[in-house]
Structure 1
Amino acid sequence: MHIELGIDMNTAPPTSAAVPDAQSIAAPSSLTETLAVVSPQRRALPEGVSKAVKAVVGMLGIFAIWELIVRVFNIPSYLLVGPLAAFEKLGEQPGYFAHHAWVTVQEALAGFGLGVGLGIVCGAVLFYIPPVRHFLYPALIAVDTIPKVALAPLFIVWFGFGFESKVFVAMAIAFFPLVINTFDGLSAVPNELKELARINNASAFMRMRKIEFWYALPSIFSGAKISISLAVGGAVVGEFIAGTDGLGQVILRANAQSDLATMFAAFMVLAAISLLLFYLITLLSQRLLPWRNHVK
């Protein structure tokens, strides 16, 4: 039995011209061509590093414009100083600013912690107990409209001139955003999830623990980002009214001496504290809410 494969063994194999060899591939002739070969993903900075670089460049640009305005218009030092004078003051007394900054941070964090806990509880009560919401919600709005500087002396009467009065001022300012955001987050649970829980005979506690609380977490963290900066401001307000330490007292003393360099140095430290705490809350939210990390 003869099977013809139809292959001519005398046929020459394909010439090397059909398949390019390694030497026939031209190497990049310039640095530009070399960079073009590199994958864009390899050349791009990590997202977090890129955002940090942009933030630093933006702050340096603001400082440069600020310093330029002071120098070009020759503004007197008793009206405005440039950032270089403020940084120089920070360099001269780092321990002084560090001590008072630590006092303010402790007061702000304590007030923020109380505000978060009380705010989440009150927001949940308003959501789950409608009769309480009808009576309490308008009262909360009325209290929130009162300037917190006016409430600070009341806290001093109740808690004295020590650490506690500043903490409660910070808590009073940080409290309300958590109440509103917790209530709004719980109210935004889709009806489909509520119906699914009802079909599966889930108890009210199970719905809250498995569905509603987790759905409200993004809104709660949004309120926390607002509250952390407000808590720092509340601690400073308390230090204005009654205090011997803290950045609020640094600002008051510098104001009494018309020392704008020290005053602006304290402002910069306060801004740095608020920014750092804000990004810590953001980092925590990214760890606890990984499904939202795709949002840029």
Structure 2
Amino acid sequence: MAEQKEKLLRFYKGTEGEKAVTQLVDLAEAVQRTQRPRLSPFLDPFGQEIAETVAANYGGIRVSFDGGYHGAERARAMYMHEDFAGTATNYDIACIAVSWNGQFARLGHRDVLGALMGLGMERDRLGDILLTADTARILCDEKMAEYLLANLTQVGSVGVQCERALLSSITPKEERCKEIRATVASLRIDSIAASGYGCSRSRAAADIEADKLRLNWQHVKSASTAIKEGDVLSMHGRGRIEVAEICGKTKKGRTVILLKRYF
């Protein structure tokens, strides 16, 4: 067991997954010791990949995910031992419905998340934040629900009202997919992003500089980062781009790519 832990910690050391893998390994080892289920904090898609990797490295453990509704991006992982006889299906997820006067204020994801951080909430206690013009549904750890109900009274300068809502009231996410066939001078991330999001390469480079773009749900260090088949680019509010296929070269030496953009 010690060897497995050391291998995983060493693999993710110095990456954005370092904190997550430490938490997840501890949970997996607790499941092996006690044979009782253990529940993780909310994980982004990269964290969910790490959770699956950890489960694969610990014999007799399986992992499942739930973010509160079908299609959730952020989800909690539940580790269970194969010898566990019970059924652990409670992921301890609450839904808080937030409302405000949409005639006088337009709030965005960053505004709501900023208000939650201002209350001392840690990001891993929060799932997805689903917005309309005058409402937000916040998925959170059940243990934090009453705290939010009592303390979230304002987002920025806007007064808000909070109440509990049923998870079943959330409409499942239905993604639309658009295929984009393009040619690029190189497989740099700024070129791929420009083709997928329909913007200039300089705009894509500026988005990368502003830390708006993610590659496989991790920060992008440089606009010249090389992209490979199967990579996923994501930008909040603009959807995801999957590099579905690298199709070869044109006669002029440009690379033909097939992208799938999910809205």
TM-score exceeds 0.5: no
Shorter chain as normaliser: what TM range? under 0.3
- Larger strand percent: 2
TM-score if structure 1 supplies the norm length? 0.21
Find the structure with the greater CA-based Rg: 1
Q: TM-score, normalised by structure 2?
A: 0.23
Higher relative contact order (CA 8 A, sep 6+): 1
Going by fraction, where is helix more abundant, 1 or 2? 1
